[in-house]
Amino acid sequence: MDAKQVGQDAGGSDSQSGWRQALGYLALIAVTVGGFLVIRHLGHDLTSPSLSPEAEGFGVAPSKAKVDVLMHVLLALVVIILTARVLGALFALAKQPAVIGEVLAGILLGPSLLGRIWPDASALLLPPTVAPFLSILSQVGVLLYMFMVGLELDLGLMRSRTHATVAISHASIVLPFLLGSALALVLYPRLATSDVPFTVFALFSGVSMSVTAFPVLARILTDRAMNRSRLGTIALTCAAVDDVTAWCLLAFVVSVAKTKVGGAVATTVLSICYIGFVFVVLRPVVRRLIARYDRAPSPPRGLVAGIFVALLASALVTEWIGIHAIFGAFLLGVIVPHEANVARELVRKLDDIVVILLLPAFFAYTGMRTQIGLVSGATEWLLCGVIIAVASVGKFGGSAVAARISGMSWRESAALGILMNTRGLMELIVLNIGLDMKVISPALFAMLVIMAVVTTFATTPVLHMVLHRRTVPIDAPSVA
């Protein structure tokens, strides 16, 4: 038998095998359909217990409502992501942090613009029924984001800086905190309610003026190729210290707001004990565990699962203590060595999900709660301007003056003060906590959101004017 004949026989065999498989699939489908029809016929005359009067029947409105909510959430996420990406890209082209465009996207989709000019579209895209679901997505996104911020925080950099740098950082918190607390004397009679104690209101007002957005500042420095300069290094160090200090202050304010003075003392003691446990007991364990697997091409799923369980457990503990879950997420991120391969892989894997999907949901949720229309009339806008001025003077003044006293030039000191005035997402997280706890009113919330956007937006152009495209080499003489 020649090769040609063998090929023909093989082809015929394959063809017959294919036909047999097709016939087999058809027979399987026929048996399935026929069997179901038989079962359906047998069960046609069966009866079941009657529906109780209080129970909801099959196919009634609640089932449809669930489907509608899911459809609205999915539609809202599509619109939110597209709008955030478009505006973020436009602001990036304008040499501004993309986060400003994403924040504005959330505000524009809310009642401040879309709800005002096209209520029907707003009701379709972001109906009130969507808000609780966006809230959950937002909180998960913020938890993961604060964990990422902790992962990227270089504690070694903070330890290696001079005492002067730490003093600059503390000055950039103390002065705006005091100015913000003093501003509460003006804001409390006009924008607070009688059920909010003045002490809590003043503390929160001070904290809201003290925040610096470490990730946004890092992005601005990287875009200007300043992250390796001396000024950039000092700014990043100050912002890192600011972050830690501001979150500790916020944790204390939340504990005071949630409980009476005695309870606040207990919450503070528990917080200190938990922080000590994390750094003294948990941190060495985490470091040894990560060092064991750090040489692997990618961290094993068991290790990643363990880290996420620890993240959620830490968030649960701090929420139970009374200082908010985000502090626990941030704290756990801090104890993971930022230079480890595991930390880099976690950031890489989380970045797209958090930044593209979850944070835009947070911005949209914030936008739904921001009613700029509440800031109406000359008096309200004057107060808004005063808030922006106090926030800027406090951050800029505290940082710049302390830097100048420490030996930096006026140009560098001014540039550092401008950088420290960046607020961005961190401020929005603080403000949402204040609104959730009813410490601030919706009108004050809108004013503070405007302040966060304006101060962050102003950073890049004002920094450009001060530096005139100049940077300071990292090997320049260190701060005294």
- Per-residue pLDDT, averaged over 76-95, amounts to 88
Minimum mean pLDDT among 94-103, 199-208, 358-367: which range? 94-103
The residue with greater pLDDT, 232 or 328, is 328
The residue with greater pLDDT, 473 or 460, is 460
467 — pLDDT class (breaks 50, 70, 90): confident
Residue 296 has pLDDT above 60, yes or no: yes
Contact assessment for residue 451 and residue 391, using Cβ atoms and an 8 Å cutoff: yes
> Which pLDDT score is estimated for 17?
60
**Diameter of the chain by CA atoms?**
105
- Determine the Cα angle at 440 with ends 239 and 430, to 5°: 25
> Which pLDDT score is estimated for 314?
92
Minimum mean pLDDT among 12-16, 77-81, 412-416, 435-439: which range? 12-16
> Which pLDDT score is estimated for 60?
42
Instruction: Please give the Cα distance from 414 to 400 (Å, whole number).
Output: 5
> Which pLDDT score is estimated for 53?
56
76 phi, psi to nearest 5 deg? -60, -45
> Which pLDDT score is estimated for 240?
72
> Which pLDDT score is estimated for 28?
63
Residue 218's nearest CA partner among 227, 207, 209, 210 is 227
Residue 424 has pLDDT above 80, yes or no: no
Q: Is residue 194 included in any domain, yes or no?
A: yes
The residue with greater pLDDT, 52 or 355, is 355
Residue 268 has pLDDT above 50, yes or no: yes
Q: Which amino acid is at 272?
A: I
Q: Is residue 477 included in any domain, yes or no?
A: no
Q: What is the residue whose two structure tokens read 């498989």? A: 21
Residue 195 has pLDDT above 70, yes or no: yes
Q: Is residue 37 included in any domain, yes or no?
A: no
> Which pLDDT score is estimated for 113?
84
Instruction: Please give the Cα distance from 332 to 336 (Å, whole number).
Output: 7
CB count within 10 Å of CB 98 equals 19
- Direct distance between the N- and C-terminal alpha carbons of the chain, in angstroms, rounded to an integer: 95
Residue 343 has pLDDT above 80, yes or no: yes
* DSSP secondary structure of 283-312: HHHHHHHHHHHTTSSS--HHHHHHHHHHHH
pTM of the entire predicted model? 0.75
Minimum mean pLDDT among 8-22, 119-133, 411-425: which range? 8-22
Q: Is residue 424 included in any domain, yes or no?
A: yes
Residue 65 has pLDDT above 50, yes or no: no
Q: Is residue 1 included in any domain, yes or no?
A: no
> Which pLDDT score is estimated for 52?
54
> Which pLDDT score is estimated for 316?
93
Averaged confidence pLDDT in the chain: 79
> Which pLDDT score is estimated for 64?
45
Structure-token pair, residue 127: 């109906």
pLDDT in tens, 205-254: 888 998 887 777 777 776 676 766 777 778 877 877 777 777 777 777 77
Structure-token pair, residue 426: 């961190």
Structure-token pair, residue 386: 């005063």
Structure-token pair, residue 368: 């739904």
Q: Is residue 239 included in any domain, yes or no?
A: yes
440 HSE (CA, 13 A, CB side): 28
156 — pLDDT class (breaks 50, 70, 90): low
When divided into structural domains, the chain yields a total of: 1
Residue 470 has pLDDT above 80, yes or no: no
- Whichever domain contains 463, its CATH number is 1.20.1530.20
Q: Is residue 45 included in any domain, yes or no?
A: no
Residue 472 has pLDDT above 50, yes or no: no
Residue 76 has pLDDT above 80, yes or no: yes
Helix (H, G, I), strand (E, B) or coil at 19: helix
Helix (H, G, I), strand (E, B) or coil at 209: helix
The residue with greater pLDDT, 38 or 366, is 366
Residue 15 has pLDDT above 70, yes or no: no
Which of 176-185, 204-213, 383-392 has the largest mean confidence? Answer: 383-392
159 — pLDDT class (breaks 50, 70, 90): low
| Four-residue CA torsion sign, 294, 297, 298, 301 | negative
Q: Is residue 48 included in any domain, yes or no?
A: no
Range of the domain at 162: 75-467
Instruction: Please give the Cα distance from 256 to 260 (Å, whole number).
Output: 6
Residue 359's nearest CA partner among 91, 85, 121, 97 is 85
